[in-house]
A and B are shown apart, each in its own frame.
Chain A
Amino acid sequence: MIQLTDIVVKFDDFEALHNINVHVKEGEFFTFLGPSGCGKTTTLRTITGFIEPVSGTVKMQGQDITHVPIEKRNIGIVFQSYALFPTMTVHDNIAFGLKIKKLPKPEIEQKIQTIARKVDLSDEQLAKAVSQLSGGQQQRVAIARALVTEPAIICMDEPLSNLDAKLRVQLRNELKKMQREFGITTIYVTHDQEEALTLSDRIAVFNKGYIEQIGTPNEVYNHSKTEFVANFIGDINPLGAGVVKGLGLPEGKHHFIRLERVRVNRPKDAGEFQTPGVIENREYYGLYIKYYINAAGQTIKVIEKNDGINIYEPGETVTIGVHPQDVMSY
C-alpha cells in the first residue's frame, strides 16, 4: 500500500531521517511511535508531501509519488490542532476539499450528509461554527473532512494530544471503531505508548531518526528488539549482577525484565531463579499495586493485581522468582 524505501531527510546540515524503510499494508492501522524529535512526524510529512526527501522513494499502491505535489496525492490528514478553518462552518469545512475538486453541488451535499452520519454529526452541528463544538466533536469534523474526499490512506498526527485524559481514552476507542468500519489504511503518529499499543495493528518505534523496531504490539512489548524499545515502552527492571548470576546469564550484556513477569511467593518452577526479598515500599494504584522489593542486592519493581490475595506490608519478607525466558538481553 505505502512503501518507504531508504528515505533520507535533511534540514540544512541536520539529518532528520536516516534510511527509513516502512511498508504499510492495505487496511492496516500502523503507528509511528517515539519520543519528541525522533522523526515520526517528519516521516509522516514525507508521506503526505510537505517534506521532500533528499533520497529514497515513497510508493503508494505501487506508484512512485515521491515528487507528486501534496494536493495530488490523495492522502487525508487529521492534524494535531485539527486545523479546522475558523472562518467556515462545519459544513463548509467538510465541503472545502470537494469544492476544490469542483464536484457538482448535489453530489457534494450528498457526500457531506453520508460522512456526517458516519461520524455522528447532526445537521444542527453542520450549521455551527467550529468554535461552537467541543474537542471531541471537532475531532470528528477533522476526520470527516479528511475522509470525505475518499483518500487512499489517512494520516493522523497526534490527534488526541490536545484532549484531557478521559476524553482521550473515549475518543481512542471511537477512532479504532471508525477505522474498522471504514477499513481505511491509517498511519498514526503518537508519543503515547498506551495509545500505540491499544490502537495499532503494527508499530514502528522511532529513535533519533532511525526505526528501532517494527512489529505488532505484542512483539514490540514482549520481544523488544533493542534496549531503547524495551525502555521506552512500558516500565522495566534492569537486572543487577545478583540476579544475572543466579540465572546464569552472560555478564557482558544488559538484561531486563518486565514488572509483571516477576513472580512473588509462588512455588518454584523448573529453571526459575528464586531469591528472598524485603518489601521496601508500595504504591497503590487501585487496579494494581506496585511493590519495591529489595532482593539480590538491588531494588526490583513488581506489579500485583489488587485482588485482595497478594497484599504485602512494607518490611515483609517475600520470595521473588524470575524465568530466564522472560528476560530480554541486549
Chain B
Amino acid sequence: MQQTLKRKSGFDLSLVWKVFGGALFVYLFLGFMVLPCLNTLTSIFTTKDAAGNADPLAVIRFFFAGNMPSFVINSLKLAVCLVITVNVVGISIVLLTEYFDIKGAKILRLGYMTTLIYSGVALVTGYQFLYDNNGMLTQWLVNLFPQMNRQWFSGFSAVLFTMTFACTSNHALFLRNAIRGIDYNTVEAARNMGAKPFKVLLKVVMPTLLPTLFSLTVMTFITGLCAMSAPTLLGYNSINPEIVRLAGSSVADEAFPQARAALLSIILALFTIVLLTTLNHYERKGHYLSVSKTKAKLVKQKIQNPVWNVVAHAYAYVLFLIYMTPVVMIVLFAFQNWPAIRAKSLNLSSWTLVNFFGTQDYSFTTSRGKQKLREGVISGVFSNADTVGGIRLSFVLSALAAALACVIVVVAVNYIFKHRNKKRAAIVEACLLFPWLLPTILICYSFRIFFNNEVWYVLGKNMYYRENVRFLIVMAYTVVKLPFALRMVKAAFYAIDDELEDAARNLGASSLVTFLRVKLPIVLPSVLAVFALNFNALFTEYDMSATFHSSYGKSYAMVIQSMTAEEGRDGYNMNGSGRRCASTVFIMLVSGLILYLVYGVGARDLGERLERRKKRREFLARLTGKKTAQGG
C-alpha cells in the first residue's frame, strides 16, 4: 500500500515538473526569441508618413531610393574578399604546419594559433595601435618603403587586413583536424602510382578537405557579413555599425531610423538563413569519410624543389611575423610607461607595472603656464574604476549566461535523448537551434527595441531601462550561445553507451541515481568545457553589448574600446593605451588559461588523471625524501 502511495505521489510530482518545465520552455522560447524578432520584422511595415498615415512600404521605397544598399554592398564586398583572403591564409597556415615539412613548424603553429586567445576588440584595437598612420609598424614600413601611404590602415583595407588574420582560428582548429584525419596510405598509394607531390596535394589531399573548407567558407562569409567590431573601430560602412547607429537615432534626425535598422537586420538574417540552409543541405549529403580501418599517420612532405622550399619557408615566416608582431608588441607596450606608449616607440629604460596595478599622479603645465597636478589619473587595469567595473560586469553577466545556457541545454538534451525518434524531441531541438539562423545583431537589436517598452510578461517593466538592461544582456548572451552548447552537449551524450545505463539499472540504481552518478560524470567534462568556452567568448564580446549601447551594460570590451578615445586630453586618461595593452595581456592570460583547462586538463580521462596524480606523489615523495635525507 505504502509503495503504491509512494509511486503515485512520485508520478504526480514528475507530472508537475513536466508541466512546469514545458511551460517555462515555451515562455522562454516565445518571450525571448520569437516575439522580439517578430516585432522587428513587423516594424518594417508599420512606418507612417509625415501626415501620420500608415505607409507600410515606405522603408522599402526608401531602401531603393537612398543609400541603404551601399551598406549591404559594402558588407557583401567584405564577405567575398574575406572568403578569399581567409581561405588563402588559413589553408596556408595549416598546410605549412601540418602537411609540408617546414623547419620550426611547432613554433610557427604557436604563432598562427595566437588568434585563439587574441581576438575581438583587443585584436582590432591592437592592430589599430600599431598600424594606424602614426603607428609603430606603419613607421617601420614607411622607413622601408618611403613611397608608402601612411593612411593605408583605414576603411576597407584595414578591416580586410585585420579580419583576414583574426578569422583564421577556425581554419587552425578544424582544417587541422581534417588534415590530420587523412589516411597517409592514400598519399603513399598515389605516389606509388606515379603522382608528383603537388598532384597528390591537389587530387588526393584537397578533395578530402573540401567539405571542411566548404563549411569554413560559409562561416567566414557570414562572419564577414556580420562584422561588427572591426568596421566600427576602423571606420567602414557595413551593415552592422549602421544598424547600431540607426537604433540610437531618432525620427527627429532622419526618416524612420528604427524601421531601416529592422530592414537591414532582416536582410542580414535572410542571407544567413540561405547560407546556413545550403550548408546544412550540403553537410547532409555526407562527407568523404576515410574508409580504411587502419589509418596511417600523415608523414610531413618535404618540398623537393629547393627554390620552392625556400619560398615556402619565407612565406611561412612572413606570416608568422604578421601574426606574432602585434602580440609581442602589445605585451611589451603593456609594461611601458605612458610617454613611451604615446611616442609609440619602445623605451628600454622605462618599464612599469602601472598599466596593471596601482595609480600615479600626473603633473603638467597648463597653457597659461600654471603647474597642475591630477591625482591618480594614471591607473592600472585593476585599479581603474571604469575598467574594474567593466571586468566585473562582464564577468558576472558572462558567467550567468554561460551557466544558464548549460543548464537549459543539459536538461533539454536529457529530454531529447529520452524521447529519441519522437516529434517533441525534434521540436525542442529545433527551438534551441533557432538562434543559429539569426544574426547576433538581429537578436540584440530586437531585444533593445522590443523591451524598451513595458512588456507584460516581464512583470510589466521596461527592461531596457537603467540596470534592467543587464537582464536583457544575460538573456541575449544565453540565447546566442544555445546552439553551440546544444551541439557540444549532444555530442557528449552520444558518447554514453546504452549498456552503461543498463548496467547501472541492473546493479540497482534508480534512473535519478543513474543520471547523477553515471551519466552526468561522463558528460560533465564536456558541459564544463562548453561553459568555459562560452564564458571565454562572452567575457570579451563587443558586438552584443555595443548593440545594446547602454551605459548600464558597459562590457569589458566596450571599456577597452573607450580607452582608445580622447586619450590624455588635459591630463585625463593618461595611460589609456597602456591600460588597453595591459587589458589585452590580461585577456590573453584568461583565455589561455581557459583553453588550457578545457583542452589540456579537461580532455584527460580518469586514467590519465590517476597517472598524473601518481607521478606528482612520486615527485613529492622524492622531494621530501631528499629533504629528510639532507635534514638527517
Listed in ascending order, the chain B residues whose CB lies under 8 Å from chain A are: 497, 499-500, 502-510, 513, 517-518, 521-522, 605-607, 609-611
Contact = CB atoms under 8 A, between A and B. Distances in A.
A70 B101 CA distance: 58
Contact of B505 (A70, A86, A127, A145): A70
B605 A86 contact: yes
A71 B508 CA distance: 4
Contacts of B499: 79-81, 83
Contacts of B497: 81, 83
Nearest to B610: A129
A70 B509 CA distance: 10
A132 B508 contact: no
Contacts of B518: 85, 87
A132 B610 contact: yes
Contacts, number: 74
Q: Determine which residue in A77, A85, A127 has the highest number of CB atoms from chain B within 10 A of its CB, and name it.
A: A85
Contacts of B521: 85, 87-88
Contact of B607 (A72, A85, A128, A145): A128
A50 interface: yes
B605 A131 contact: yes
Contacts of A85: 500, 503-504, 518, 521
A261 B222 CA distance: 74
A80 B502 CA distance: 12
Q: Determine which residue in A50, A100, A101 has the highest number of CB atoms from chain B within 10 A of its CB, and name it.
A: A100
What 5 A-B pairs have minimum CB-CB distances, sorted nearest first?
A97-B507, A129-B607, A87-B521, A129-B606, A83-B503
Contact of A83 (B500, B508, B510, B607): B500
A210 interface: no
Nearest to B611: A132
Interface in A114-136: 127-132
A214 to B, nearest CB: 26
A298 interface: no
Contacts of A72: 508
Contacts of B509: 71, 96, 100
21 contacts: A50-B502, A71-B506, A71-B508, A75-B506, A79-B499, A79-B502, A81-B497, A83-B500, A85-B503, A85-B504, A86-B606, A88-B521, A88-B606, A96-B504, A96-B509, A100-B513, A128-B607, A129-B607, A129-B609, A131-B606, A145-B507
A89 interface: yes
A269 B383 CA distance: 108
Given A81-B497, A87-B521, A127 B504 contact: no
Contact of A97 (B500, B508, B605): B508
A145 to B, nearest CB: 7
A104 B505 CA distance: 21
Interface string A235-269: 00000000000000000000000000000000000
A89 B606 contact: yes
A131 B608 CA distance: 9
A224 interface: no
B606 A83 contact: no
Contacts of B503: 77, 79, 83, 85
B interface, by DSSP: helix, strand, loop or mixed?
helix
A57 interface: no
Interface in A144-200: 145, 149
Contact of B610 (A77, A80, A127, A149): A127
A154 to B, nearest CB: 11
Given A83-B499, A83-B500, A87-B521, A131 B505 contact: no
B436 to A, nearest CB: 31
A6 B503 CA distance: 27
A87 B517 CA distance: 9
Nearest to A127: B610
A71 B510 CA distance: 8
Interface of A: 48, 50, 70-72, 75-77, 79-81, 83, 85-89, 96-97, 100-101, 127-132, 145, 149
Contact of B507 (A50, A80, A100): A100
Given A81-B497, A86-B522, A130 B606 contact: yes
B607 A131 contact: yes
Contact of A77 (B506, B510, B513, B522): B506
B397 to A, nearest CB: 32
Contacts of B610: 89, 127-129, 132
Contacts of A128: 607, 610
Contacts of B508: 71-72, 97, 100-101, 149
A72 B124 CA distance: 63
Nearest to A101: B508
Contact of A70 (B506, B513, B522): B506
Contacts of B510: 71
Nearest to B523: A87
Contacts of A80: 499
A81 B609 CA distance: 23
A86 B517 CA distance: 11
A83 B536 CA distance: 35
Contacts of B517: 96
Contacts of A79: 499, 502-503
A131 B607 CA distance: 6
A96 B507 contact: yes
B507 A132 contact: no
Given A71-B505, A71-B507, 14 more contacts: A50-B505, A71-B509, A75-B506, A80-B499, A83-B497, A86-B522, A87-B518, A87-B522, A96-B507, A128-B607, A131-B606, A145-B507, A149-B507, A149-B508
A93 B509 CA distance: 13
A79 B505 CA distance: 13
Nearest to A96: B507
B506 A48 contact: yes
A72 B3 CA distance: 14
Q: Determine which residue in A86, A88, A129 has the highest number of CB atoms from chain B within 10 A of its CB, and name it.
A: A86
A86 B513 CA distance: 16
B605 A83 contact: no
Q: Determine which residue in B508, B513, B605, B607 has the highest number of CB atoms from chain A within 10 A of its CB, and name it.
A: B508
Nearest to A100: B508
Contacts of A96: 504, 507, 509, 517
A83 B502 contact: yes
Contacts of B605: 86, 129, 131
A76 B502 CA distance: 11
Contacts of A101: 508
A251 B605 CA distance: 66
Nearest to B507: A97
A143 B499 CA distance: 15
Contacts of A50: 502, 505
Contacts of A127: 610
A81 B499 CA distance: 7
A87 B606 contact: yes
Nearest to B524: A87
Contacts of A132: 607, 610-611
B86 to A, nearest CB: 38
A80 B505 CA distance: 16
A80 B509 CA distance: 20
A112 B357 CA distance: 56
Contacts of B611: 132
A295 to B, nearest CB: 42
A85 B521 CA distance: 9
Nearest to B520: A87
A80 B521 CA distance: 22
A77 B606 contact: no
Contacts of A145: 507
A74 to B, nearest CB: 9
A96 B521 CA distance: 14
B157 to A, nearest CB: 52
B131 to A, nearest CB: 49
A83 B519 CA distance: 12
Nearest to B605: A131
Contacts of B502: 50, 77, 79, 83
A145 B506 CA distance: 11
A83 B497 CA distance: 7
